[in-house]
Amino acid sequence: NLISSKKSITDRRSIQTMTKRDSNGSSKSTILVTGGSGLVGQAIKSYVESSAPSNAEYKDSETWIFLSSKDGDLRDRKATDAIFEKYQPTHVIHLAAKVGGLFANMAQKVEFYRENTLINDNIMENCRIHKVTKLVSMLSTCIFPDKTTYPIDETMLHDGPPHPSNEGYAYAKRLIDTMNRAYHEEYGCNFTSIIPTNIYGPHDNFSIQNGHVIPGLIHKCYKAKQDNTPFTIWGSGTPLRQFIYSLDLAELTVWVMREYHSPDPITLSVDEDAEVSIKDVAHAVAKAMKFEGDIVFDTTKADGQFKKTACNKKLRSYRPDYKFTPMEEGVQKAVDWFLENYETARK
């Protein structure tokens, strides 16, 4: 029985690696990106449409489809089934999620857990049924244990409970890693996950109430400049973070899809010495916005976790020479995009 069950897993694995062939017999890939209209989805779109040398050999063999919420509700199984039937993807990059900042996570733990669990289950099960060659799902450093040693690495994901402020979201996301391994063991599926640090860039959600750190600060600074008022930052400004520019993350995510084949997650992060304080970020935003007023830190507001330093040793073992965009340069690009697209930007 053990031999036959091992053989069936091997058979299933050989099925999983099949891709479509065109009339010349060369393999064609159809890559479906969920959450394709968001920050990372749009960055991937920019990257794969660019003339980057790393894309040249794939230009004719890959078709990219970027889904938005208009294409169907991924919380709904039938709607998700219909999307997979329509596009028949060979690869999936799964970015879609219910996301929000610290205060939204604290207020809606049930919704963050339930909606993300439904989305993830619908995507993973459809990838199995449709024999998708590769599924790459996105996790986050905020799902790691609250009480831990630093730097954190991929092996520590399940070592303790997450920070209470976002436990609904964190447990839903942790289950992706659990199920990647389960689908690999039981069905031979090539499912993996990436763990980026704090992402920012063009096409972000610049909401002050529900956005993440950098886009929220960019919008706040814009308003302070318009209204000639102080630029007020929630919290003390002392927490430390690693920020990754969205176009860097896009390039590395596509590399994971094409080249990294293990169910174990991989952290996509700048190096540890590129960690910066929120205060540094606020000053970089003010400089990029050419804001010359007062910068004030409101210490009556919560800081969240003090630090979440992530170790990128695994990434560096594969990509030792990868050059990340420096924070000041990335912030300038994000500010420029926000100003150019102010009317249509999410905010």
Active site positions, annotated: 169
- Across 250-280, b (16+ Cβ under 10 Å) vs e yields bbbbbbbbbebeebebbbbbbeeeebbebbb
Name the residue among 197, 169, 222, 198 with its Cα closest to residue 345.
222
Name the residue among 258, 335, 328, 313 with its Cα closest to residue 57.
258
Strand positions, DSSP E, the chain: 20-21, 27-34, 62-66, 91-94, 134-138, 191-196, 198-200, 231-234, 240-241, 243-245, 266-268, 276-277, 295-298
Question: Residue 11 is encoded by which pair of tokens?
Answer: 């058979």
